Chains A and B, each alone.
Chain A
Amino acid sequence: MDFLTLIQILDSSVRLATPLLLACLAGLFSERAGIFDIGLEGKMLMAAFFSAAIAALSGNAWLGLLAGIGSSLALAALHGVASITFRGNQLISGVAINFLAVGLTVLIAQDWFQQGGRTPSLLDGGRFSPIELPFAIGPTEAEAAGRPLSRLLVEAGPLQQAYSELISGHSILVYLSLLAVPLTAWVLFGTRFGLRLRAVGENPAAVDTAGVSVVALRFAAVGICGVLCGIAGAYLSTALQAGFVKEMSAGRGFIALAALIFAKWRPWYALGACLLFGLFQALELRPDVLEAIFQTKIQGQLLGALPYIMTVVILAGFVGKAVPPKAGGVPYVKER
């Protein structure tokens, strides 16, 4: 395997890690506030559809993004009402949201576009296109030189290869998601809101007796979760791919949950976990590279299962201890 192939796989890892990272941070906010959310998957899927649909209709990716965030927020509000206001079971509410999203997206897609539950392929304005950073070799350089881009890259030096392939050429959402990591860390550990958010996930009674509203805090967390899931969904259908297809979230919401546990509910660890799981997904797409490394055929499904297996290992306590927020999953009731 040469250096360029490695860079290409890492580049692909970053692309595939982005939705995981956004969903993982979404789950982090929610679970740190004590609301378990297995509905990340459903929210992403819903947002993926509405982003693609609105982008297709308007030809504007940003409008699509807004629609995606809005639809994800609506589902987040549903989860909030069920699990905070009515103190329902958070897992059941999450499962319901996942089912709802699978059914609704296809139903509405068929009604709107009559293309068998998908949206039309998005044209350029409807997608978040790659951003070429200065000095990087991209399609513009290839056009100017009149030669294929792949040739230019092969001829470039390793530093230029890494810069052009790995650092440059991603959509704005990828850079946004990377920025979200330090931002999340700062909000959680550097602000009053973060202190209260973490407290409400550990001991809501402490927050309540300190004169702060448990309900408002938890709704805020669930809302942030909705926004981040919305961006993740929009990324799937308007950046990673060009349009919505049935069940396109493909279990990413669950892998993000696995990454969250793997990361022990910490933002920087979440980045690491998502990049690692993104790498698995990237390798899954390159059986040729795998075969070259291991000198034998590796089943792609094994890589798909790896995040879950690693999470089980972590949960079993083999590698450090993953301690979830103490009040997670428990509706807050003032004691009698």
Chain B
Amino acid sequence: MTAAAIELKSISKSFGPVQANKDISIQVQPGTIHGIIGENGAGKSTLMSILYGFYKADKGEVWINGKLTEIPDSQAAIAAGIGMVFQHFKLVENFTVLENIILGAEDGGLLRPSLAKARKSLKTLAAEYDLNVDPDARIDKIGVGMQQRVEILKALYRQADILILDEPTGVLTPAEADQLFRILDRLRSEGKTIVLITHKLREIMEYTDTVSVMRRGEMTATVKTAETSPEHLAELMVGRKVLLQVDKIPAKPAAPVLEIENLRVSDETGVERVKGINLTVRAGEILGIAGVAGNGQSELLEVLGGMRTGQGSIKLHGAPLPLTGSGANGRARRAAHIGHVPEDRQREGLIMDFHAWENVAFGYHRALEFQKGVLMDNAALRADTEAKMEKFDVRPPDPWLAAKNFSGGNQQKIVVAREIERNPDLLLVGQPTRGVDIGAIEFIHQQIVALRDQGKAVLLVSVELEEILSLADRVAVMFDGHIMGERQAAETDEKELGLLMAGMTAETA
């Protein structure tokens, strides 16, 4: 039997009091795709960062191709034949593809010969692995799918035999993700070893040979993918049975809460992103907006939330809401009982350096119960935050902790708690479970359904088709700023919606 491509022996790593990796041992066989799955904060990325020399393990050994290897920095990892594609790409945005590829792997002090050499070998690599990229394109002018290819090419240019990918499909459209997996398949057939870190069960089941499960810093199991099931893996991940299907009673749609007529929205550069759409959201129902990212859903959500101006008309309970001017802002929308869970919680939902209780106060800090004369009643705000944290099982339930110190799932729970607990008539939700672990997904979904069951209206925007199908009662598909069609969630499937998302109607498909 050949030596394992990677063997980790008893790796441990702590960040202060938090033990991110506890005594982890794992073997990755050469020429396979090895999945590592686990909830957010389970320690997957930490483990791989140790392997790539980004962090130093407190304890343990790394063996590469049967040799004990010291990896004190990324240079050593590259020398050992390891390449890594981080979740957040490490590319210089105003450099060209070629410049990014040679950065740190130049030959000699002058750029010209290095660039010429890289251009040639890029051609060979492109042919060999079907990885076509324009070498002279600037990184900020190409899409994320292309950027990811550049990252893969960077690793291959450095002659990596082991490729680690951290949550590679988080930013990709379904089509781009499929393409990525075709590339990975190709790489495997050329004898490369691939480690795939993800929290998506579907990817693990479809593409990996072996899968290791991590939970709270520990490796709970390593199994052959063919010999396991999604349910079994999910159980290993969270340590208890979870329902991937959202448990809900049929919706009882009542009077319209939100009526959108001929809404048009342009972005900063003047490009029209929402091109005259009509939608109605009724009390007691969840309307899901499906679509590939960048087809106008974000702009729709932002204009409803008062973050952007638009043209046309929107009515709440029959009364028109302003789309421009001083009445079109987040404060006015909240006063009208519209709650908004924005798509990007780190940029729009939270101030990462502020305490949890301050973040819970935002948007509602003018509420009378939090005022004490001209001052804010901070003690009341903290008590309020503690109550919300307990109800939403935010861990740790410490109002003094800065938002950035919570895991993704707990950050999202803070935002959702803030918006839902104000009991809005209409809740706008964008990507509620992006980068959130399974346990928190389930909880957040339950809270959204509970709000619906109280007779409130919910508008859900998500690029996760699975989420739309399980959570929404009615689905509208957006493509290029238009609504391609509306379906009852119970009467449609991924295939039909996928065609609509690609801009094809039943007639043209």
Binding site for B on A (CB under 8 A): 189-196, 198-199, 202-203, 205-212, 326, 334, 336
On chain B, the residues within 8 Å of A334 by CB distance are 54-55
Instruction: Decide yes or no whether B109 CB sits under 8 A from chain A.
Output: yes
State the majority secondary structure of interface residues on A. helix
Instruction: Determine whether the beta carbon of A210 is less than 8 Å from that of B105.
Output: yes
Given known A202-B92, A207-B103, A208-B74, contact A192–B15 (CB-CB < 8 A): no
Instruction: Determine whether the beta carbon of B92 is less than 8 Å from that of A203.
Output: yes
Instruction: Determine whether the beta carbon of B104 is less than 8 Å from that of A212.
Output: yes
* A198→B54 CA distance, assembly (Å): 22
Choice from A189, A190, A193, A209 contacting B90 with Cβ under 8 Å: A209
Instruction: Decide yes or no whether B99 CB sits under 8 A from chain A.
Output: yes
Choice from B76, B84, B99, B114 contacting A209 with Cβ under 8 Å: B84
Residues facing A in B48-75 (CB within 8 A) are 52, 54-55, 73-75
Instruction: Determine whether the beta carbon of A192 is less than 8 Å from that of B110.
Output: yes
Instruction: Decide yes or no whether B156 CB sits under 8 A from chain A.
Output: no
Can you give 21 contacting A-B residue pairs, CB < 8 Å?
A191-B111, A192-B108, A192-B111, A194-B111, A195-B103, A195-B111, A196-B104, A198-B92, A198-B95, A199-B92, A199-B103, A205-B90, A208-B54, A208-B90, A209-B52, A210-B104, A210-B154, A211-B73, A212-B75, A326-B93, A334-B55
Nearest 7 A-B pairs (CB), nearest first? Answer: A210-B104, A211-B75, A206-B90, A192-B106, A211-B74, A209-B90, A212-B104
Instruction: Decide yes or no whether B488 CB sits under 8 A from chain A.
Output: no
* A193→B103 CA distance, assembly (Å): 10
Residues facing A in B88-105 (CB within 8 A) are 90-95, 99-100, 102-105
Residue of A nearest to B107 (CB): A192
Residue of B nearest to A190 (CB): B111
* A194→B77 CA distance, assembly (Å): 24
Per-residue 0/1 for B1-45: is the Cβ within 8 Å of any A Cβ (1 yes, 0 no)?
A: 000000000000001000000000000000000000000000000
* A212→B105 CA distance, assembly (Å): 9
Instruction: Decide yes or no whether B303 CB sits under 8 A from chain A.
Output: no
* A209→B100 CA distance, assembly (Å): 12
Most buried by A among B15, B55, B91, B92: B92
Instruction: Give chain B's interface residue range (CB within 8 Å of chain A).
Output: 20 to 34
* A207→B74 CA distance, assembly (Å): 10
Instruction: Decide yes or no whether B78 CB sits under 8 A from chain A.
Output: yes
On chain B, the residues within 8 Å of A209 by CB distance are 52, 54, 74, 84, 86, 90
Residue of A nearest to B100 (CB): A206
* A195→B104 CA distance, assembly (Å): 9
Instruction: Decide yes or no whether B112 CB sits under 8 A from chain A.
Output: yes
Most buried by B among A192, A207, A208: A192
Choice from A190, A192, A206, A211 contacting B78 with Cβ under 8 Å: A211
Closest beta carbon of chain B to A134's beta carbon, Å: 35
* A211→B76 CA distance, assembly (Å): 8
On chain B, the residues within 8 Å of A191 by CB distance are 109-111
Choice from A203, A210, A336 contacting B93 with Cβ under 8 Å: A203
Closest beta carbon of chain B to A266's beta carbon, Å: 12
On chain A, the residues within 8 Å of B95 by CB distance are 198-199, 202
On chain B, the residues within 8 Å of A199 by CB distance are 92, 95, 103
On chain A, the residues within 8 Å of B84 by CB distance are 209
Residue of A nearest to B102 (CB): A195
* A207→B104 CA distance, assembly (Å): 7
Choice from A190, A203, A208, A212 contacting B110 with Cβ under 8 Å: A190
Residue of A nearest to B79 (CB): A211
* A203→B99 CA distance, assembly (Å): 13
On chain B, the residues within 8 Å of A326 by CB distance are 93-94
Most buried by A among B77, B91, B103: B103
Instruction: Determine whether the beta carbon of B54 is less than 8 Å from that of A203.
Output: no
Given known A191-B109, A210-B104, A211-B74, contact A336–B90 (CB-CB < 8 A): no
On chain B, the residues within 8 Å of A206 by CB distance are 90-92, 100, 103
* A334→B75 CA distance, assembly (Å): 15
Residue of B nearest to A326 (CB): B93
* A173→B447 CA distance, assembly (Å): 72
Choice from A189, A190, A207, A336 contacting B15 with Cβ under 8 Å: A336
* A210→B74 CA distance, assembly (Å): 7
Residue of A nearest to B89 (CB): A206
On chain A, the residues within 8 Å of B104 by CB distance are 196, 207, 210-212
On chain B, the residues within 8 Å of A212 by CB distance are 75, 103-104
* A149→B207 CA distance, assembly (Å): 86
* A336→B106 CA distance, assembly (Å): 29
On chain A, the residues within 8 Å of B15 by CB distance are 336
On chain A, the residues within 8 Å of B109 by CB distance are 191-193
* A202→B73 CA distance, assembly (Å): 21
* A146→B225 CA distance, assembly (Å): 100
